[in-house]
Chains A and B, each alone.
Chain A
Amino acid sequence: MAHVRAYRVLPAFGLSLGFTLAYLSLIVLVPLAAVVLKTATLSLPAFWQAVTSPRVLASYRLSFGASLLAAAINTIFGFLLAWSLVRYRFPGKRIVDALVDLPFALPTAVAGIALTALYAKNGWLGQYLEPLGIKVAFTPLGVLVALIFIGLPFVVRTVQPVLEDLDTEIEEAAASLGARRWQTVWRVVMPTLFPALLTGFALAFARAVGEYGSVIFIAGNLPMVSEITPLIIITKLEQYDYVGATAVASVMLAASFVLLLIINGLQGWTDRRSAKVR
């Protein structure tokens, strides 16, 4: 026989890989390539000027800063929520469980308007916060609130199934082997959950960076203060500056991609580490 082919155990590898690549290209890569191609019509100095003007830089700081912070807060409280939902039984649990998904389903504009109405100085919460000197609506804090709102389900829904799979017996075993409470949490529970927490963090972060609808209503949208990068892109479009808009978009794309790569790498690292521990 002139040619021996190694057969895989699972059939249809070629077909599924082909499908995967074709599908990804069509749905993801082609639109993104359009962004890059459109940007490429810009000369390098013009590109640099478009993506590093002070207003745009301020918007990166707000968009990425608020998104990271919101994702971090969501990771902590999303974990607590998931823990309560999985480990305890309490009345109304199913309702709480369903509520978690609400930010997914709600049109983001509705979320934005509701949050603004709530936190404006004549709103339910705003009227009490404003006298204390806490301004939420129309400030960067408002941006953070909106991003926390829309990012919450991502953490809960990624951590929850992993927690459900985590047998309480393992914890009992740890306890019977003499581990203290915090040792059990830190050395037994956390390593198993860490990849899921990271995934939740990454998803919440990615969603927050791209969020437009809910933020726009509560942000105030002041240049240099409360303008998010997606708004800069829209603003440029509305001035017929298509190339400038795609230039900023490509920077956002690259930054998000690098951050997600880092998080993925971190995940791989923790996976390997926990595998070694076992």
Chain B
Amino acid sequence: MILRFSRRHALALGTALLFVAPLGAEAQTTLLNVSYDPTRELYQEFNAAFVKHWKEKTGVTISIKQSHGGSGKQARGVIDGLEADVVTLALAYDVDALNKKGGLIPADWQKRLPNNASPYTSTIVFLVRKGNPKQIKDWSDLARPGVEVITPNPKTSGGARWNYLAAWGYALRQTGGSDATAKGLVSKIYRNVKVLDSGARGSTTTFVERGIGDVFISWENEAYLAIKELGPGKLEIVTPSISILAEPPVAVVDKVVDKRKTREVATAYLQYLYSPEGQDIAGKHFYRPRDAAAAAKYARQFVDVKLITIDEVFGGWDEAQKTHFADGGVFDQIYGQ
């Protein structure tokens, strides 16, 4: 077929341009929020709320784009030049990378917002099949022979690192617990892992859609979301005796907002996460709110669980990363055995 550029085509093209042109001319303010895997639904609702809030406050209509993926991958994208006005990632280590590898934000980024720059927290729970056929109650049950465990790869997934460290922390807190017993438990758990996806959402799909595995070590919010999506009655949540306090942090990316002149709105966007409205949306999406009122409102949906923190048990993310997840670290040793 030979394409002839007829008058009709020209007309069509002209009309098309007419529609496209105003979009470019007005230069509407946009924000890009680069986030991790399971926050899609949270930020969809939060973004709509913030756009409305900003319009009421300043009269300016903005639009917000969101990007999701494994936390490490997302941070690398930003370092490599993805123009994120704000990042909302799974763990502080990945935001730190923006400082250390990219020089995009100052070292004290975690001091710029309340609560270590984590507007909401979460923790790690187990998702099991209906009726809990393998009788999984606690971390030690994941190490039993014959139990199939699903968790993402801690080298690429932020959530998976929390999973791994929670199991480690549990073993340490048992009577007679030491690094050796912890390594033993974690090794046994990973020997039961049959599929190692690169991100949390991939693992959810493997467990929920493909029907692989007896237990899925998951973000609390992701577990509730899976149950909500799939309808209750197919899956159950089991809360272990000890878990870890996960603090997903947020930050304005200084280099980008200065270039795009969006600092004011980007900062307001993150601060809005701490507002009663933002906190309520977080609770609605099964993140544990920091705000007392919202926390009280959603208290019923969260089990009270003993939470260890990364700082008290592992001496912070840098240490944990170096010891456990760097090449040749404990995680590699587990698979090298």
Using Cβ atoms and an 8 Å threshold, which residues of chain B touch A207? none
**At the interface with chain B, which of A26-34, A83-91, A117-125, A174-182?**
A117-125
**At the interface with chain B, which of A16-24, A68-76, A155-163, A230-238?**
A230-238
Q: How many angstroms between the C-alpha atoms of A238 and B193 in the bound complex? A: 21
Using Cβ atoms and an 8 Å threshold, which residues of chain B touch A120? 210-212
Q: Bits for A48-64, please: 1 = Cβ < 8 Å to B, else 0.
A: 00100111000000000
B258 within 8 A of A: no
Let me know if B327 and A238 touch, CB within 8 A.
Answer: no
B:78-135 near A, CB below 8 Å: 79, 97, 101
Pick from B70, B193, B196, B211: contact of A122, CB below 8 A.
B211
**At the interface with chain A, which of B238-246, B297-305, B328-336?**
B328-336
Looking at A55, A234, A236, A240, the one whose CB has the most chain B CB atoms below 10 A away is A240
Using Cβ atoms and an 8 Å threshold, which residues of chain B touch A55? 332, 335-336
Q: Bits for A212-254, please: 1 = Cβ < 8 Å to B, else 0.
A: 0000100011111000000100111111110010000000000
Q: A120-B210, A121-B211, A122-B211 are in contact. Are A221 and B153 (CB under 8 A)?
A: yes
Let me know if A223 and B335 touch, CB within 8 A.
Answer: yes
Let me know if B97 and A240 touch, CB within 8 A.
Answer: yes
Pick from A137, A231, A238, A239: contact of B210, CB below 8 A.
A137
Pick from A222, A240, A241: contact of B196, CB below 8 A.
A222
Q: How many angstroms between the C-alpha atoms of A116 and B332 in the bound complex? A: 27
Let me know if B155 and A239 touch, CB within 8 A.
Answer: yes
B65 within 8 A of A: no
Q: How many residues of B contact A (CB 8 A)?
A: 27
Let me know if B155 and A238 touch, CB within 8 A.
Answer: yes
Q: A55-B336, A220-B194, A221-B196 are in contact. Are A235 and B210 (CB under 8 A)?
A: no
Let me know if A220 and B196 touch, CB within 8 A.
Answer: yes
B284 within 8 A of A: no
B76 within 8 A of A: yes
Using Cβ atoms and an 8 Å threshold, which residues of chain B touch A79? none
B326 within 8 A of A: yes
Q: How many angstroms between the C-alpha atoms of A247 and B318 in the bound complex? A: 24
Pick from A116, A220, A238: contact of B72, CB below 8 A.
A238
Q: How many angstroms between the C-alpha atoms of A123 and B210 in the bound complex? A: 8
Using Cβ atoms and an 8 Å threshold, which residues of chain A touch B194? 138, 220, 222
B:295-329 near A, CB below 8 Å: 325-328
Pick from B196, B325, B326: contact of A223, CB below 8 A.
B196
Let me know if B328 and A53 touch, CB within 8 A.
Answer: yes
Let me know if A221 and B335 touch, CB within 8 A.
Answer: no
Let me know if B72 and A239 touch, CB within 8 A.
Answer: yes
- Closest A residue by C-beta to B336: A54
Chain A interface size band reads 20 to 34
Q: How many angstroms between the C-alpha atoms of A123 and B211 in the bound complex? A: 9
B:180-233 near A, CB below 8 Å: 193-198, 209-212
Q: A53-B327, A54-B336, A221-B195 are in contact. Are A237 and B76 (CB under 8 A)?
A: yes
Using Cβ atoms and an 8 Å threshold, which residues of chain B touch A224? 335-336
Pick from B212, B325, B335, B336: contact of A239, CB below 8 A.
B325
Using Cβ atoms and an 8 Å threshold, which residues of chain A touch B101? 240
Distance in angstroms from A276 CB to nearest chain B CB is: 45
Using Cβ atoms and an 8 Å threshold, which residues of chain A touch B209? 117
Pick from B156, B195, B332: contact of A238, CB below 8 A.
B156
Q: How many angstroms between the C-alpha atoms of A117 and B210 in the bound complex? A: 7
B68 within 8 A of A: no
Q: How many angstroms between the C-alpha atoms of A239 and B158 in the bound complex? A: 11
Q: How many angstroms between the C-alpha atoms of A99 and B332 in the bound complex? A: 43
Q: A55-B332, A55-B335, A55-B336 are in contact. Are A238 and B196 (CB under 8 A)?
A: no
Using Cβ atoms and an 8 Å threshold, which residues of chain A touch B336? 54-55, 224
Using Cβ atoms and an 8 Å threshold, which residues of chain A touch B73? 237-238
Using Cβ atoms and an 8 Å threshold, which residues of chain B touch A216? 198
Using Cβ atoms and an 8 Å threshold, which residues of chain B touch A223? 196, 332, 335
Pick from A50, A137, A240, A244: contact of B76, CB below 8 A.
A240
Q: How many angstroms between the C-alpha atoms of A116 and B156 in the bound complex? A: 21
Q: How many angstroms between the C-alpha atoms of A137 and B332 in the bound complex? A: 24
Using Cβ atoms and an 8 Å threshold, which residues of chain B touch A236? 327
Looking at B76, B79, B97, the one whose CB has the most chain A CB atoms below 10 A away is B76
Q: How many angstroms between the C-alpha atoms of A55 and B72 in the bound complex? A: 20
Pick from A121, A122, A235: contact of B156, CB below 8 A.
A235
Binding site for A on B (CB under 8 A): 70, 72-73, 76, 79, 97, 101, 153, 155-156, 193-198, 209-212, 325-328, 332, 335-336
- Known pairs A235-B198, A236-B327; list 13 more (Cβ under 8 Å): A53-B327, A53-B328, A54-B336, A55-B335, A122-B211, A137-B210, A222-B193, A237-B73, A238-B156, A239-B72, A239-B156, A240-B72, A240-B97
What 6 pairs across the A-B complex have the smallest Cβ distances? A238-B72, A223-B335, A120-B210, A122-B211, A238-B156, A221-B196
15 sample A-B contacts, Cβ–Cβ < 8 Å, listed by A number: A116-B210, A117-B209, A120-B210, A121-B210, A121-B211, A123-B210, A138-B195, A221-B153, A231-B198, A236-B327, A238-B72, A238-B76, A239-B327, A240-B76, A240-B101
